[in-house]
Structure 1
């Protein structure tokens, strides 16, 4: 089945927040500390959309996955305890979440592949991301897609595992 990857708009907000609320609860049930501190929240999603950083994977009018995408914009990444693979332009993504109704269908992988395509379309060949040390699902996806562990970055007082994937041009 082919889904559409597109920029989020304000009409998507309620669906996006519903997906994230359930993802926050799933993290809690899995015993993860990730997203258990009031972040993300509806105002973060509103800012993502207003700043044109919010992106969705959609099945017709239904939002089935969400992420925030930024280009060369993650101040915390400048202070990595470790070393990035590259020092040039990069796409960074945050707040990856898949609708509960679509779990187990490989959508997180599909979403990350869309992010890689987004980067290539902008002639950017580095994708960076981070996750909590206890987010086993995301750590598995990074491994499956060939991300390299680069070190630790710090957000809101906590350490996060940082990863990078070097992309190749599809010329």
Structure 2
């Protein structure tokens, strides 16, 4: 494969991902983070859209996570993180309305620092089977920290491996996440 053909394939996949992430972010009402899905499709239905820009945020990142929802059924979800006004949060699209944004300050070892940057990535087996984790990194004035949050795991039920969703608890400690740990860039 020639270098230009390879570059075109990568560019096409990246553009597809950017459009999907933009549409997903607009659909969940991330005012200020992206244009809305309505504006992204260039619809002129007369609705005014306003992008809000603030000096302190929001920081936003997303990760596509393939999850097994039933034997042989694979569904994809877009998880988001934000550091809007210094407060780190993760968006779990599987949760009930009103409980989708979860504070990451509820993870053990959180020092409550003002988060200036945040990122998220999916870790797990290709195809969605098995343990699926979100790797979340946050930068504060004190340094760079990371945690891993399990969103799906394999349970052995009487010798039958079963993929099971692991939700973010709506209250209390986030027991599906490892404690925040300082890392060296």
TM-score bracket for the superposition, by shorter chain length? 0.3 to 0.5
Indicate the structure (1 or 2) with the bigger Cα radius of gyration. 2
More helix, by proportion: 1
Query: 1 or 2, which has the higher strand percentage?
Result: 2
**Superposition TM-score, scaled by structure 2 size:** 0.32
* TM-score, L = length of structure 1: 0.34
